[in-house]
Amino acid sequence: MATPKTLELRKLRLMTAIKTPYTADGNVDLPAFDKIVEHQIANGVEALIVGGTTGEGHLLSWEEHLFLIAHTKAMFGSKIAIVGNTGGMCTGEAAVATRKGFAAGMDCSLLINPYYGKTSAKGIVMHLENGLKYGPGIIYNVPGRTGQDIKPEIIMSIKDNAHFVGVKECMGHERIKLLSDQGVACWSGNDEQCHLSRHVHGAVGVISVTSNIVPGLMYKLMHGSRDDELDSKLQPLYKWLFTEPNPIGVNTLLMQLGMAEPVFRLPYTFASKEMREESVQLLKSIGLQHCPAGPNGLQVLADSDFKHVLNGDDA
């Protein structure tokens, strides 16, 4: 039987895969991070994925990653749920990180199947169960990154675990409907599909990248009645954000909005000048009042404005 906390988490409709900003010396920029989070809370976002793919958890040391989870919980834990991306390829490492993540205060883990070092269906189940031992967990199925699909039969074999919250599912409407019809809570992992997934195919909501930019509008898509007009209006932004591999687009856009210093940890780099100019027109057409913005507002940055670093130790 699911725990009360697990059941509570299944009700959340809008979660943001939050960006991790950096200072000029390559360290995590906590003041900038806090401002981004404050805008999220003010616009109705119910949970944050800390150190996810968008938040570049794979570029953070575990010390940085766990510290960011603890910081987010300490600063905002009474206002928003904290989901720590503590999964990984190595079962033992992911289990330790998940245990420490709960010790740091996270409400839920995000657990992925072993990428690159693929395993059998039984191995995936054992890998995920080792993460679910410590508290509520959302399973993340993104074959485009891991190279291996978590099949429905695998999900069904763990769905009765007391800590199984549900699935962030990137395999589209058909998969979400199949799982939802069998009582599995699903969040769309594809922003461009999330509106129909939510209103037609049974998804609870979305774990979104776009909500870094327009959280209030994403809230409306998830909590309001079906709104095909708004969904259509946002489709060009979805396309822009994922033209380059995520999180290049969202990073570039938050930097142009003045919400983060224009600092990239490699291997990520900035979007092209053409794309940067296009993004300004996109946001103006949607309405800048829906976006977070620093003191100077939205600007087209020059190539020379951007800086690349390895990590906070190479300043």
Which residues have a catalytic role annotated?
140, 168
Helix (H, G, I), strand (E, B) or coil at 202: coil
264 sits in which H/E element: strand 263-265
Among 248, 250, 241, CA closest to 212: 250
Which DSSP category does 16 fall into? E
Residue type, 266: L
| Helix residue ranges, H only, the chain | 4-9, 30-42, 62-76, 91-103, 121-132, 143-146, 152-158, 173-180, 194-199, 215-223, 228-241, 248-256, 273-286
227 sits in which H/E element: none
Residue type, 291: C
Q: Is 135 left (phi over 0), alpha (psi -120 to 50) or beta?
A: left
Alpha carbon distance 71, 184 (integer Å):
31
For residues 2 and 211, is the Cβ–Cβ distance under 8 A?
no
Letter string b/e over residues 193-226, b meaning 16 or more CB atoms within 10 A of that residue's CB: bbbbbbbebbbbbbbbbbbbbbbbbbbbbbeeee
For residues 136 and 3, is the Cβ–Cβ distance under 8 A?
yes
Alpha carbon distance 118, 240 (integer Å):
31
